[in-house]
Structure 1
């Protein structure tokens, strides 16, 4: 190994050891993370807090809000350091035990609060959409219903169940027979008649039709009442028809190593029987939204029976076709990071003495989806762009709905009130969470919560308004959102200088790690020459989200302006090509050319933003097997 390689390896080893220590050492400490910039929405860098295996960070989401996320650290590192090719830096901050616990509670509370508030926003949006569609459309509009897509491509509600294909699911036939035996021969038919009558006559609450106030917590909007009844009706029709789930809505893991043992099949059989009993109770429950769990349960009954009949695990497809912008994000890389281990641990429950429950089966279902997607991506190059998961089985489908016979005045009052409630609640969220490049971003919100937690920890003898003093006691210093603290790299430097920092570390980006590996097998000069540009690189392959460029300018400082000039020329060429291709690509190449100009101009002043990205990387990729886990 050359002298340079030994020095590089030594620095990497120290960084890795510090990172291991930061994730495993006991005591009251957390990490302030800085993630270097890259092109696109990462041009300003990023900041986060790490508590062991959990990472909290704020991101700008539509429609212009700053949202808190909580991720597994291994998945966070994979997304940022590997796929986005961005080096992670960390400062380890030592704090008192009480402050450490309070800080985690502060972030968890903020996360739960935002999830609730964005859920309300989604419900108010649905209510406003339904109010507009109620009489404005000449044709009957369609509503998308959760889990309906496991059985149908489209549902049309009618006073009498439509005759069609059905009767091909023995599991649903058994469930239907058990329901009739338990509750009476006319139970299901009478339940459907009642549902249709409620659906046909449902009207908005008179007291809330024109009110601009947001409904109190726990109350349902008119749209929720309507969609619940429509989904209940659809679920009941499918039970009456005994229709099997669609074949493309199920996933089966094949291969000898996935074959179910006798003990596992016994556990699945017991869970199937328990699911039947749960669904029977659900059919006679008073909850207003029983249609969704009934649909999921019926689809799972069929999947369980298929698992038992075939000897291989079959589960519901959890891939999300259209991600809900207000729902907590569940990126597939997070599931894939430990997908095989997750599925193995979950499958172990099948052979354990403890009975399988809903949570255990959901874990198995989620793990099986992750493994299926990973193996498909490894087999098929075009499938390497990994999908997203829904938190719960959520394969939706459209449903035609009968318009309730509302008087024109009632419909207009409902429409006005729904629009006002939505606008008012949006304004409330913007006042609390509106994103601003400098005044409210991923760094300022971290500092606000750090200081707010210190104030909340003040005793009765301390003035809780003195944030500076309280933060100095808790963290070693007081940092606010004043310039230059909103800039991620500046904030990271200030944290290292002024907070009670006991260790610092660096987790290199994917390309840097791979170059260091290449130093072990090829001359340094050759590796540097070959990997200095995108044309001859053996590691980087241009992909659609990156603007065209020639040189990687983060590798050396002094040649950067010259290399940046070549990158500007590449951006100009892509812009020119985009002008010619505009009729075919709707200006995509022009947009990337402009982005290329934006990230290349700083290179003329010795500043680097662009580093290239590797979005097609998969967790567990062979090139990463020998890396040390942190």
Structure 2
């Protein structure tokens, strides 16, 4: 391939993050390409995750929240070499992402069968917690009218009836439940082929029934699952963009319900919830969003009285991210779902930190996009096979979930002295050039014989062995404030801010 065949120019850096006084005492490492950072984290699921996130998020998590300094070594790579490296890291990330998606699917399948096997028979359905029964809403009534106009007067009622009939049939999806075989080939560098069974269709049916019920009965938004009155008022441009976004999303909702592609019901519930939030934003003149932190998000920080002033500054930093997002959004001609999600995500994270600091409760964190998905449980009429059949389904589903989990733990292990955040990212970089059959730009680091398995020594070794153009330093939150001469009372006795469990 020619040089011009590769992506637009970017830079690549090896990142070393120093240790702190909490967990993470050995430091951390990653690779930055453009504005994306690739690094490994050991998750509570016992799987060593390759994380891909924006450099802004990475720097905020480590330099601000974890109060740690980073040293970035600029790699001396051509654009062709950077493109090869980026392509290979993306492939490794996406293969693992697909594996984790498959395993998540199996966990959800098991969860549904556990709920149906319980005495209550209530099932938890995604993105349904945002709506409250017996609280009628004009916006639900208006959207119902819009759908009736575009899809037919009795469309929702007929759809709900058809979905209910499918569940009440003695030969329903639960009775005919299929379990597709697990992927035959499971490797780090090859996409796993996994065909979902009947579970996805069954979940669509259940969530679709609730979606229809919400609109037909004109349910309103549950105030416990929204974020409001926490930002500056909407400006003229934001108001215009949100009005146009509301119209576009209403039309999008009509298409989703009409076409009913796999996953349609959950998507429709998210769009409907956001339409409620946007409508309220326009009515009160201030941004309102759905609460999108997942229920199982890990707690990463608890307030320490000595850190009060420091935490206040961190909260200000997080709201600065929201302000920047709003500034960029105001300059747009059209607000897309992607930009809205960024605004929603940033607000949720900033609000989480503000609430944690304000009322002394633990602060949660989530890696990846925050998408509204809070569940509520429903008892939905359906034909349920005999207990023996459900128990057999559940037993098989659990075994499949556990088998896949065991495979992934073996495929992505964490071992402090052999496979850690540093060894794996360094190996990935060097192997990227091997797979492309291109000479590595510099002297290779040989494992397991190199001390580069230690993060701070890896930074030294990369600077010595790999082609590079020098180093820059990203100061920790505290050091940055000291450097700027912005000291505040109690700083000399404050503890380091720790929190994220990094390896």
Residue by residue over 1:382-430, the C-alpha shift from the partner in whole angstroms, topping out at 9 and shown as x without a partner, is 3694665852222322233456432455434423432332233223212
Structure 1 residue 242, shift from structure 2 partner: 0.7
Q: What is the distance in 2 between the residues matched to 1:177 and 1:521?
A: 58
Aligned partner of 2:250 in structure 1 is 276
Q: 1:361 to 1:207 in 2, by over 3 A?
A: closer
In the alignment, structure 1 residue 194 sits paired with structure 2 residue 194: no
Residue 451 of structure 1 deviates from its aligned partner by: 2.0
Q: What's the CA shift for 1:235?
A: 0.9
Q: 1:165 aligns with which of 113, 134, 140?
A: 134
From 101, 114, 117, the counterpart of 2:96: 114
In structure 1, what is the equivalent of residue 30 of structure 2? 48
Q: Taking structure 1 as reference, are residues 95 and 42 closer, same or farther at Cα in structure 2, changes over 3 Å only?
A: same
CA distance in 1 between counterparts of 2:490 and 2:343 reads: 40
Task: Name the residue aligned to 2:267.
Answer: 293
Give, in whole Å, the separation in 2 of the partners of 1:251 and 1:63.
30
Q: CA deviation at 1:506?
A: 3.5
Match for residue 527 of structure 1? none
Partner SS state of residue 228, structure 1: helix
Given the alignment, which residue of 415, 420, 426 partners 1:441? 420
In the other structure, the counterpart of 1:213 is 182
Match of 1:419 among 393, 398, 403: 398
Alignment of 1:558-597 (within 5 A): none
Length-normalised TM-score, structure 2: 0.81
Q: Residue in 2 aligned with 1:490?
A: 457
Q: Counterpart of 2:48 in 1: which secondary structure?
A: strand
1:316 paired with 2:290, answer yes
2:257 and 2:21 map into 1 onto residues whose CA distance is 53
Query: Distance in 2 between the 1:360 and 1:508 partners?
Result: 29
TM-aligned CA deviation for residue 103 of structure 1: 0.5
- Asked if structure 2 preserves the Cα contact closer than 8 Å seen for 1:271 and 1:356, the reply is yes
Which one of the candidate residues 125, 147, 151 is aligned to 1:145? Answer: 125
Q: Distance in 1 between matches of 2:487 and 2:277?
A: 50
* 8 Å CA contact retained: 2:297, 2:365: no
Report the equivalent of 1:382.
360
Q: 1:334 to 1:425 in 2, by over 3 A?
A: farther
Runs of 4 or more above 6 Å deviation? 332-335
Q: Give the Å deviation of 1:88.
A: 2.0
Which residue pairs with 1:242 in the alignment?
218
User: Is the 8 Å Cα contact of residues 172 and 243 (structure 1) preserved in structure 2?
Assistant: yes
Shift of 1:268: 2.8
1:234 Cα deviation from its structure 2 partner: 0.8
Are residue 339 (structure 1) and residue 322 (structure 2) matched?
yes
Alignment of structure 1 residues 120-139 onto 2, 5 Å: 120-135=102-117, 137=118, 139=119
Kept after mapping to 2: 8 A contact 1:74/1:337: no
In structure 2, what is the Cα distance between the partners aligned to 1:336 and 1:227? 37
Q: State the match for 2:53 in structure 1.
A: 71
TM, length-normalised to structure 1: 0.66
1:100 aligns with 2:50: no
What displacement does 1:28 show?
Answer: 7.0
Q: Partners in 1 of 2:194 and 2:258 — Cα distance?
A: 22
Distance 2:64 2:214 in 1: 45
Q: Say whether the 8 Å CA contact 1:212–1:424 is kept in structure 2.
A: no
Instruction: State whether structure 2 residue 177 is matched by structure 1 residue 203.
Output: no
Gaps of at least 5 residues in structure 1 are 1-25, 153-163, 326-331, 460-469, 523-535, 543-611, 617-630
Change beyond 3 A, Cα 1:74–1:539: farther
Residue pairs, 1:323-472, within 5 angstroms: 323=297, 336=319, 338-349=321-332, 354-369=333-348, 372=351, 380=358, 382=360, 385=363, 388=366, 391-402=370-381, 404-407=383-386, 410-458=389-437, 470-471=439-440
Is 1:480 matched with 2:447? Answer: yes
Q: Aligned pair in 2 of structure 1 residues 200, 324: CA closer, same or farther (>3 Å)? A: farther
> Is the partner of 2:384 in helix, strand or coil?
coil
1:231 aligns with 2:226: no
Q: Is the 8 A contact 1:145 1:396 kept in 2?
A: yes
1:613 aligns with: 497
Cα distance in 1 between the residues matched to 2:99 and 2:218: 38
Separation in 2, partners of 1:424, 1:376 = 40
Aligned in 2, Cα 1:336/1:145: closer, same or farther, shift over 3 Å? farther
8 Å Cα contact 1:176-1:239 kept in structure 2: yes
Q: What's the Cα RMSD here? A: 3.6
In structure 2, the CA distance between the partners of 1:76 and 1:116, relative to structure 1 (3 Å rule), is: same
TM superposition shift of 1:46 = 1.3
Deviations along 1:534-592, whole A, 9 cap, x unmatched? Answer: xx9634435xxxxxxxxxxxxxxxxxxxxxxxxxxxxxxxxxxxxxxxxxxxxxxxxxx
Whether the 8 Å CA contact 1:46–1:442 is kept in 2: the answer is yes
Residue 367 of structure 1: how far off its partner (Å): 4.4
The alpha-carbon distance between structure 1 residues 374 and 339, as it changes in their structure 2 partners (threshold 3 A), is farther
User: Partners of 2:27 and 2:238 in 1: how far apart?
Assistant: 47
Give the C-alpha shift of residue 499 in structure 1: 1.7
Secondary structure of 1:64 counterpart: coil
Distance 1:100 1:140 in 2: 55
| Higher relative contact order, structure no. (Cα contacts within 8 Å, ≥ 6 residues apart) | 2
Structure 1 residue 336, shift from structure 2 partner: 4.8
How far does residue 514 in structure 1 lie from its aligned partner after superposition? 4.8
Aligned mates of 1:419, 1:106 — CA distance in 2: 33
